[in-house]
């Protein structure tokens, strides 16, 4: 996991928790409610972070699969072109043989 990719998410998560603590302390809640609100915001931010991480994993997986499919399609196209050329040359050979027999 590259930290640079998720640095923005981590910063936003920290800002979310700090702003929740500031808001709760300004409303004069007691310590238990403040900690509960901070944990709730931390879990919400963590959930959003995990969803973002899973989406990135899915994007990387799709990119790899797309690349594999593209390579496989290129291989199939090359094989089909080779088979087409071999069939055309075989048909040309049969036509030549037939025309030689007709002219004899």
Phi, psi of 59 (to 5 degrees): -60, -45
Cβ atoms of 24 and 37 closer than 8 Å: yes
Q: Which of 30-34, 48-52, 53-57, 66-70 has the lowest mean pLDDT?
A: 30-34
What rounded mean pLDDT belongs to the chain?
A: 85
Task: Dump pLDDT digits (tens) for 53-102.
Answer: 899 899 999 999 999 999 999 999 999 999 999 999 999 998 888 888 77
Confidence class for position 44, pLDDT limits 50, 70, 90: confident
Q: What is the pTM of this model?
A: 0.59
* Cβ-Cβ contacts under 8 Å for 10 (sequence gap 6 or more): 49
**Domain locations along the chain:** 3-103
pLDDT at 51 over 70: yes
């Amino acid at each position: 996991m590259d930290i640079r990719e998720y640095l923005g998410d981590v910063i936003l998560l920290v800002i979310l928790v700090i702003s929740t603590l500031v808001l709760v302390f300004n409303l004069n809640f007691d310590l238990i409610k403040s900690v509960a609100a901070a944990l709730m915001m931390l879990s919400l931010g963590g959930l959003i972070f995990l969803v973002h991480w899973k989406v990135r994993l899915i994007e990387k997986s799709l990119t790899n699969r797309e690349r594999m499919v593209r390579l496989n399609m290129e291989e199939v196209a090359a094989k089909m072109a080779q088979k087409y050329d071999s069939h055309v040359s075989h048909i040309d050979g049969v036509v030549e043989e037939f025309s030689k027999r007709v002219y004899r």
